[in-house]
């Protein structure tokens, strides 16, 4: 067995152990799994509103967790710069630590196309598998979220996310207390699919705020059944990308054309915080990333256990 096959075998063995350990809960989790369909043909970008309703609803709901950085912000070793979006709190044209969803506006063959963008909430999120500190979780409903209280902003999650979703704000987070000059750099922020509302069997605010009913959440098997019916006459995105996601887009315009329009729009501009619509394979299929996930797993487990102990102590106070 060579080195590469060893790593693959180790990772698959670890995965098999996890699957076996959780097999008893698999049916219950599957029953709780949620997904959403975003109908691009229905979205008009809320042209009658100053701010798209899904964007404003998301910002209002999450305002209480928006970062308040401690200044002056000092870069951590060996970095010479840091990411600070505290002066861009009103920027709704891209993903930021203060804006978890945005509307991509494109013109394709004289047609205006509006696309709500946010975290795809992957079935097998590489951000979760490759977080060295184990602070990214996935709920039974399928929501992928970052624990802001323990994230140190290393940004590995953004590096491995095919869409570059998580965004970092410096000058906040636990790293300021435990390792301000050695590691970290802030906290990573992104959409958590309104996990608290889903847990209470309530709809995420982007759906309830949408005046065109362009965003629809439901049980994952039901959403996928609808999507499979829709793809007979329109184009689908999200079912297979990155190994499968909980966010399905449907459109009368094919997604290759949409992605070309996005690339053209940002040809000479920064693409930071901007999501493409390419077909992405899961980076964990790469043997090096798979090996890294295997090596990181014990560290992440230790980190998660430490966090659980700290939380338990806080709850008892």
| The pLDDT value given to residue 6 | 39
> What is the DSSP annotation of 209-239?
H-TT--EEEEEHHHHHHHHHHHTTTSEEESS
| The pLDDT value given to residue 108 | 96
- Is it the case that residue 24 has pLDDT exceeding 80? no
Q: Per mean pLDDT, which range of 42-56, 134-148, 255-269, 301-315 is the poorest?
A: 301-315
> What is the DSSP annotation of 77-144?
TT-S-----TT-TT--SS-BTTBS-EEEEEEETTEEEEEEE----BSS-HHHHT-TT--EEE-TT--E
- Is it the case that residue 4 has pLDDT exceeding 80? no
pLDDT mean over 41-56: 97
Is the backbone of residue 265 left (phi > 0), alpha (psi -120 to 50) or beta?
alpha
Taken in order of first residue, the domains within the chain and their CATH numbers are 33-316 (3.30.70.20)
| The pLDDT value given to residue 21 | 47
- Is it the case that residue 291 has pLDDT exceeding 90? no
- Is it the case that residue 7 has pLDDT exceeding 50? no
Is residue 305 very low, low, confident or very high in pLDDT (cuts 50, 70, 90)? very low
- Is it the case that residue 41 has pLDDT exceeding 90? yes
Does the predicted TM-score (pTM) go above 0.75? yes
Compute the distance between CA of residue 191 and CA of residue 119 in angstroms, rounded to an integer.
6
Smallest CA-to-CA distance from 164 within 71, 96, 232 is with 96
Residues 6+ apart with CB under 8 A from 11: 290, 291, 293, 294
Compute the distance between CA of residue 167 and CA of residue 151 in angstroms, rounded to an integer.
12
Is residue 314 very low, low, confident or very high in pLDDT (cuts 50, 70, 90)? low
- Is it the case that residue 303 has pLDDT exceeding 60? no
Compute the distance between CA of residue 108 and CA of residue 260 in angstroms, rounded to an integer.
10
DSSP state of 285: G
124-157 residue pLDDT tens: 999 998 898 889 999 999 999 999 999 989 899 9
| The pLDDT value given to residue 317 | 55
H-state helical runs in 148-286 = 156-160, 175-178, 195-199, 205-209, 220-230, 255-265
């Amino acid at each position: 067995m060579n080195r590469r096959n060893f790593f693959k075998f180790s990772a698959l063995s670890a995965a098999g152990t996890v699957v076996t350990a959780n097999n008893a809960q698999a049916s219950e989790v599957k029953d709780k799994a949620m997904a959403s369909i975003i109908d691009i043909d229905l979205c008009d970008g809320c042209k009658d509103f100053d701010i798209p309703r899904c964007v404003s609803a998301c910002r209002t709901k999450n305002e209480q967790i928006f970062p308040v950085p401690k200044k002056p912000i000092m870069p951590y070793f060996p970095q010479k710069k840091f990411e600070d979006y505290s002066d861009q709190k009103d920027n709704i044209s891209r993903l930021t630590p203060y804006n978890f969803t945005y509307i991509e506006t494109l013109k394709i063959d004289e047609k205006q196309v509006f696309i709500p963008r946010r975290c795809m909430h992957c079935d097998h999120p590489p951000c979760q598998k490759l977080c060295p500190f184990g602070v990214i979780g996935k709920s039974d409903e399928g929501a992928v979220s970052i624990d802001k209280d323990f994230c140190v902003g290393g940004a590995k999650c953004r590096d491995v996310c095919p869409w570059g979703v998580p965004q970092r704000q410096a000058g906040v987070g636990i790293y300021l207390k435990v390792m301000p000059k050695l590691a970290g750099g802030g906290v990573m922020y992104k959409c958590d699919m309104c996990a608290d509302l889903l847990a209470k069997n309530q709809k995420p605010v982007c759906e309830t705020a949408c005046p065109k009913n362009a965003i629809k959440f439901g049980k994952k098997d039901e959403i996928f059944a609808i999507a499979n019916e829709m793809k007979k006459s329109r184009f689908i995105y999200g079912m297979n990308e990155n190994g499968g996601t909980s966010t399905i887009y449907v459109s009368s315009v094919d997604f290759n054309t949409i992605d070309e329009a996005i690339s053209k729009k940002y040809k000479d501009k920064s693409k930071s915080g901007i999501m493409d619509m390419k077909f992405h394979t899961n980076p964990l299929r790469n043997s090096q990333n798979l090996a890294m996930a295997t090596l990181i797993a014990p560290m992440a487990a230790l980190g998660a256990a430490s966090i659980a102990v700290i939380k338990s102590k806080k709850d008892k106070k």
